[in-house]
Chains A and B, each alone.
Chain A
Amino acid sequence: MSNTQGPPPLPPPPVPASPGPGSPQDVPPLPGELGVDPTTLPGPIRDELLAPDPQAIDTASDELKDGLNRCPKCGSTDIRQRAGTDLLICLYCRHEWRGERVEEAFGFGEGIDQLSGTVIASGARDIAADAASLMTFKCTGCGAEVTVNTDHAMTARCHWCRHVFGVNEQIPNGAVPDAVLPFHIKQDDAVARIRQFVDKRRLFALKAFKEQFTPENVVGVYLPYMIVDGNVSADVAGHGEVETRRYTRGNDKNKQTYYDADVYRIDRHVDFTVDDLPIESSATRGNLDTGTNTNNIINAILPFDTKNAVKWNASYLSGFTSEKRDRDVEQLRPRLEDQLLSIARAQVHASVARFDRGVRWEQERLAVHGTRWVAMYLPVWLYSYHQPGRNGGMLHYIAVNGRTGETMGSVPIQQWKLLSVALTVGTFLEGAALWFLAHAS
């Protein structure tokens, strides 16, 4: 672009000016985008950056232990999830059956463009204010009382006879979701992925983190989401510019590029439907403020193959913990509308390509014709590390999608080490610049 003819051609700046740490409110970068060219960096840093990402290892799963769900054929309670499938199998009579997919059972895939009003599946109803977290069952095996704390788990084991109880009935308080997507990635696999993820990030990792790193401590958690379909229209309006002429003024020593442009007032309208948009239905997990937490890590492993979710059945939850939903449809609506507007903006992008000097959108409008809400548990492997510090420190997560194996994490940094390396590289570059200036003139 700006080539000066007097002095010899200048080397381009080695790295672009960087916009800081970034935020989940920005459109996330494409996979593999880094911001610096690794080949310009010192060997050890380059090797770390170029190391392979976590890979699929094995998607079989034998995590799910016995549940008290009864076999539809013989009535036995010895039921497991069949490894790597969404099937349940009776270990007594070998009968196999599939939890009914909610997609077909309730027709969730169809008629999105006909949606009107707000359709709420039974498990997505408002949570009753007096909904008790503790539910007590009388064990049919031995008569003991067994308590399930639905804040953290949907199953519990009888201390006396080892029967497993699950909250299988949909009590009308919104605490039990409509559907569950069973784990496919088994624990060994999740451990391997987390190990690979951290192996790629050791140079500048906090020393205490590296010393205490035990990925075997990963826990399988079912996290609560609302899966939303929507039928909407959106309008955006603003100004765009088309370049008509480009020319330079000034002498060789001081040359400037000038532009002429046409300014347009533009507006766009788009009608669209979205299928299975996942939204965190726990207030804690939905808070993506990277200044105070690393929940954006868990958000980043979305989406899931929610089309394969099965009707609620606590047998799938044995051996895992779960988090309870604490947000109702109306509380999540602003978040949904925000995402629908973002999708609309992405949809109209191609239609303003001719405005080569860019577009400044100034107004936007959203008309929600209809939405459908389904409460669902999604499977996530979570490794967490608490970094001590001010205001309670920071809880770092490495999360593995329990279906796809997609892995994302936050590794605490040894600040002084990273700073000193950055300053060293900066000093070296500055030295090279000074040398160049001294020899160019």
Chain B
Amino acid sequence: MSDDGGLWLLAIGPTGAAALYWALYRFYRNTDKSHAFERETAVDAKPVTGSNDKVDKITGTRQTRIDGDNVAAYRKRVQRVE
């Protein structure tokens, strides 16, 4: 990690091979395809309501996103409350 200027380049070979493999695998097998019901169903929604309360402050983190970001992972279930 010390000399960031170049060593990460060495990851290109394995990363590129894996990415190409999985991309072509998906192109043939389409394991990632399913009915996109979230955008293809007729949904009639009332305006969304809710609240935001500031509860904390973070300084100097190196993470680019919130821990456990699942805002776009609509199908990943979280704790269900009654």
Measured in the bound complex, the distance between the Cα atoms of B36 and A301 in whole Å is: 10
A19, A205, A433 — most chain B CB neighbours (10 Å): A433
- Is the Cβ of A274 less than 8 Å from the Cβ of B43? yes
B55, closest chain A residue (CB)? A265
- Is the Cβ of B17 less than 8 Å from the Cβ of A422? yes
- Is the Cβ of A364 less than 8 Å from the Cβ of B75? no
Query: Contacts of B33 on A, CB cut-off 8 Å?
Result: 24, 28-29, 296-297, 300, 408
A384 to chain B, nearest CB (A): 15
Say if the beta carbon of A161 comes within 8 Å of chain B.
Answer: no
A202, closest chain B residue (CB)? B28
Given contacts A359-B71, A433-B10, A440-B6, contact A19 B66 (CB under 8 A): no
Measured in the bound complex, the distance between the Cα atoms of B24 and A423 in whole Å is: 13
- Is the Cβ of B9 less than 8 Å from the Cβ of A274? no
- Is the Cβ of A357 less than 8 Å from the Cβ of B66? yes
Measured in the bound complex, the distance between the Cα atoms of B55 and A168 in whole Å is: 63
- Is the Cβ of A429 less than 8 Å from the Cβ of B70? no
Contact of B5 among A7, A24, A41, A349 (CB under 8 A): A7
- Is the Cβ of B43 less than 8 Å from the Cβ of A363? no
Stretch from A84-92, A139-147, A254-262 at the B interface: A254-262
Contact of A343 among B38, B53, B55, B80 (CB under 8 A): B38
Give the dominant DSSP class at B's interface: mixed
CB-based A-B contact count at 8 angstroms: 325
Stretch from A56-64, A127-135, A237-245 at the B interface: A237-245
Stretch from A9-17, A97-105, A177-185, A317-325 at the B interface: A9-17
Measured in the bound complex, the distance between the Cα atoms of B42 and A276 in whole Å is: 7
Query: Contacts of A411 on B, CB cut-off 8 Å?
Result: 28-29
Contact of B78 among A23, A361, A422 (CB under 8 A): A361
- Is the Cβ of A351 less than 8 Å from the Cβ of B22? no
Contact of A21 among B2, B14, B26 (CB under 8 A): B26
Say if the beta carbon of A126 comes within 8 Å of chain B.
Answer: no
Given contacts A27-B75, A430-B12, 12 further A-B contacts (CB under 8 A): A21-B32, A22-B26, A254-B4, A263-B57, A272-B44, A297-B33, A303-B35, A343-B37, A348-B50, A423-B17, A433-B12, A436-B9
Closest 5 CB pairs of A and B: A426-B17, A22-B32, A430-B13, A358-B69, A24-B34
Residues of A within 8 A of B (CB): 2, 4, 6-7, 10, 13-29, 34-36, 41, 45, 49, 112-113, 201, 204-205, 236, 238-241, 253-254, 256-278, 288, 290, 294, 296-297, 299-303, 338-339, 341-343, 345-352, 355, 357-366, 408-413, 418-419, 421-423, 425-427, 429-434, 436-437, 440-441
